[in-house]
Chains A and B, each alone.
Chain A
Amino acid sequence: MPYTLFHSKVAIQLLSRMAVILLILTIPGDAYSGKAPEKLTSIQSSDLYAQHVHALNDSASGESEDSSKAGDAHKGKTFFGQKDLLDSDRFWDLNYTDRILFTLGVSILVLLLFVVIFAFVTIGFRIKNIRKEKRWKQLEATWEPLLIRVLAGDEALQELHAKVRKPDRLRFVDFLMRYTQHFRGEELDILTDLARPYLPLVERQCRDRSSEVRARAVNSLSTLGFQEYKTKIVNALDDPSPLVAMIAARALMRKDEPELAEHVLHRLHRFIHWSINYLSSMLADVGAAIAPTLRSIFSDKEYSVKTRAVCADALRQIHDFEAAAIARDVLSKETDRDVCAAALRLLDAVGLPEHLPAIRKSTDSPDFVIRAQAYRALGNIGGKAEIPVLESAMGDQEPWVAIKAAYGILAAGGERRLIEIAQSGGEQATLAKQVLLESDA
């Protein structure tokens, strides 16, 4: 029987049938089987149900004949099997078509439910964020003019405190934190005083389950209450979250207190995934006071190579001349790329002619990174006597070695020789020109 393409009546009937199947199957089994017939009766007796069953019987009578001829693949006497539906009390007792309809109906309902939930969650979050932002702006508008007057000394701290309601105390600390980036000295002290009454609340956040909240709390405490919460910040170095530990480490390294930096140095292994440059800069910021500890870690093979490389780079940045002897020893005994390259960079900065033998030995290293650093250091420390060696190194197959050697010639006072190479038009002419150009020679 041909189908009518836009037969909306049948479409409605299909949907209502789907709804009926869903309703029937969601009614408890005993109710469905007659023990509590009220719901079923109400469905059966509804006009909609009666109407669609009737209509379906009419519209599908042709198929029902075919299906009964085809055997008892399903027990229904009609295409849509309304008889089976009324007789069966379980999903698997439904005929094939009803089962599909039921599955389709359930899937659509589940998806619809998901869509509605997601939509509500999204809208809810959006509304919440808009409200938060609005409230935040209102609070800022109230606090900001007062804060400026307090910072200028025109208003007492209490005036501003009076404007901070109980639920907004943590927000107020966040508000102050934004200003700490722009103020130093006396103004920063005022900000610290303003935050003081609320810091115990922040301290409580250090025990929060979320590592992000703990990190933020440690950050706030280290900026606005470092002296009072020093122990807390040191303890945060052992926080299970690497983020919290790093925030604490940075806070401790920013202070000019070498004994605090020692805490970080002894836990340097915790930050070993961080970039070497970043860690060494952080350590170097403390200054020469931590050099003895850095030296002892650098020379100690018990520490990981990366930890030692970080210390060597920090020693280079603080120009620690006493570390040069350790670097020489490291070069004579070890072959690891990170440690040796860091030792050579250190010697490049603070080395003396007496360290040249160790550096020369490194120019024979099979590792091009070590070789490149060695030639750079050789030029810097060795002087003009090393120019022939460096010139031959400009032909090294590894571009980085050649480049460092060329810079080595310049550092050794071989500018004239570089000009000659540049003018020669030979293989190394471009490299020589590059070095001369970049050194403005």
Chain B
Amino acid sequence: MIEITLRIFVFGFSFLVLTYFFALNTFYMLTNIFAFTSLRKYAGRLKSFQINELLSSSGAPPITLLAPAYNEEATCVASTRALLTLNYPEYEVLMINDGSKDATLETMIQAYDMVPAARVPTAGIDTAGVKEVYKSRKNPNLWLIDKNNGGKADALNVGLNYCRTPLFCAMDADTLLERDALIRIVRPFLEDSSTVAAGGIIRIVNDCTVENGIVTDVRLPKNMLAKFQVMEYLRAFLSGRMGWDALDAMLIISGAFGMFRRSTVVNAGGYATPRTSFHTVGEDMELVVRLHKYCHDNDLEYQVRFVPDPVAWTECPESLKVLGRQRDRWQRGLYECLMAHRSMLFEPKYGKIGMLAYPYFFFLEMLGPAIELPGYFVLLYVIITGMVSPVFAITFFWWPLSLVWSSL
């Protein structure tokens, strides 16, 4: 009886795994095809629409860069210097010191000759207390907000409260932006005034040469884990996000580099924190999902776009331990976000988001580990118990090799 039950379970599970991988790979193939055509079109557009013309245009909207920093004493000066040399007609840099325990604040004050300055908030999102606002005497467009610790999302909300420009760019303090990144990522906002958010591509900087905050020589990392991540990032952005963008169903904008319309984000309630709604470690995705929901619920015309050429560089983990922590955080963020907005799942009101993107992320990305991990154990079980011929299994996994053998 137990054996029959186990056999039925194994059969059912195998069917689930087969369906899962079929669906997953179908989505991958679809996004690949859409991404391919979109990238070709985008490259064609670039030839007729010069970014230099935008730079000289008085119509380029002012931007605020929000860079939350927590214990960034070692890197904050260099990162800020890189932010101050970007090619863009009008922008401010707001660094938010999220209650760092090291000397981030003192280092910034000293390096950029910062003095306490008056600046009133323009929005009233609930955040941890702000201690002081500083302005640089060296660089008039550089500000530093010192606040009590509240996490990245809370720090971004503080930045949002003090943002005075129609657009803001959320990023990590250690992200390196290419010099033309802002002018490139602002394009969707110029071309369509209903654009509320746009994401750019993130690339891995490990073992690349960086001079004065600019990546001068792009190299593959020596570390094998980092090499895999280079490939993973390129696939995720140039195929995945580009494909979802072509399908008009972008659900994720990376927290390391994304541009948003301030008024819409403020109206939607800012980033999710325990003070505003709930705690999530995936505040970047949660915001985008909420923007979709907010705009749909309020019948607002809106766009969320991905632009493949504004590049932001970031360090990726090189040890399994750190990588594991990162992936755990991502998976938890995905879970928290998708569960919080599960009312959007298969809800026709939300169009492609509710009927296509949300189900994909819910069933294939969020539940992926729950299918994949037991899959390994079930495979082991069926081989050990002889339910599947090990030879058959080996043949399946090693069929190219076997094919060579059989031809000998």
Using a CB–CB distance below 8 Å, which chain A residues touch chain B?
2-8, 10-12, 14-16, 19, 104, 108, 174, 181, 210, 212-213, 215-216, 218-219, 243, 247, 250, 273-282, 284, 317, 399-400, 402-403, 422, 430-434, 437
Contact = CB atoms under 8 A, between A and B. Distances in A.
Contacts of A11: 391, 394-395, 398, 402, 405
Contacts of B394: 5-6, 11
Nearest to A104: B396
Nearest to B52: A181
A14 B395 contact: yes
Interface in B273-321: none
A13 B124 CA distance: 72
Given A3-B390, A402-B120, A12 B405 contact: yes
B401 to A, nearest CB: 9
B222 interface: no
B193 A275 contact: yes
B403 A434 contact: no
A278 B395 contact: no
Nearest to A406: B120
A281 B57 contact: yes
A187 B172 CA distance: 46
A278 B405 contact: no
A16 B406 contact: yes
Interface stretch (B39-47, B93-101, B247-255, B362-370): B39-47
B122 interface: yes
B55 to A, nearest CB: 11
Nearest to A217: B48
Contact of A430 (B49, B118, B386): B118
A243 B190 CA distance: 12
Contacts of B58: 277, 281, 284, 317
The listed residue with most A CB atoms (<10 A of its CB), out of B396, B403, B406, is B406
Report the 8 A-B pairs with minimum CB-CB distance, sorted nearest first.
A212-B44, A278-B59, A433-B118, A281-B59, A215-B48, A434-B118, A12-B406, A216-B48
A247 B59 contact: no
A49 to B, nearest CB: 12
B64 to A, nearest CB: 15
Contacts of A278: 57, 59-60, 190
Contacts of B396: 104
A7 B395 CA distance: 10
B121 A279 contact: no
A430 B48 CA distance: 47
A275 B391 contact: no
Contacts of A276: 193
A174 B46 CA distance: 13
15 contacts: A10-B391, A11-B391, A11-B395, A11-B402, A14-B391, A174-B47, A212-B45, A215-B49, A218-B48, A277-B61, A278-B59, A281-B58, A399-B122, A399-B124, A434-B117
A11 B189 CA distance: 58
Contacts of B122: 399-400, 403
B221 to A, nearest CB: 22
Interface in B377-408: 386, 389-392, 394-396, 398-399, 402-403, 405-406
B75 interface: no
B387 to A, nearest CB: 11
A434 B45 contact: no
A273 B120 contact: no
Given A276-B193, A400-B122, A212 B390 contact: no
Contacts of B49: 215, 243, 247
B119 interface: yes
A15 B405 CA distance: 10
A84 B249 CA distance: 50
Given A11-B402, A243-B48, A212 B41 contact: yes
B123 interface: yes
A3 B59 contact: no
Interface in B175-196: 189-194
Interface string B54-69: 0001111100000000
Contacts of A275: 59, 61, 189-191, 193
A212 B406 contact: no
Nearest to B41: A212
A273 B194 contact: yes
A15 B399 contact: yes
B212 interface: no
Interface string B27-52: 00000000000000100110111101
The listed residue with most A CB atoms (<10 A of its CB), out of B48, B58, B389, B396, is B48
Nearest to B121: A399
A372 B260 CA distance: 23
Contacts of B123: 399
Nearest to A433: B118
Contacts of B390: 3, 5
Nearest to A282: B59
Contact of B59 (A4, A174, A279, A422): A279
Nearest to A216: B48
Given A15-B395, A273-B192, 11 more contacts: A181-B52, A210-B44, A212-B47, A243-B48, A250-B53, A275-B59, A279-B59, A281-B59, A430-B119, A434-B118, A437-B117
Contacts of B189: 275
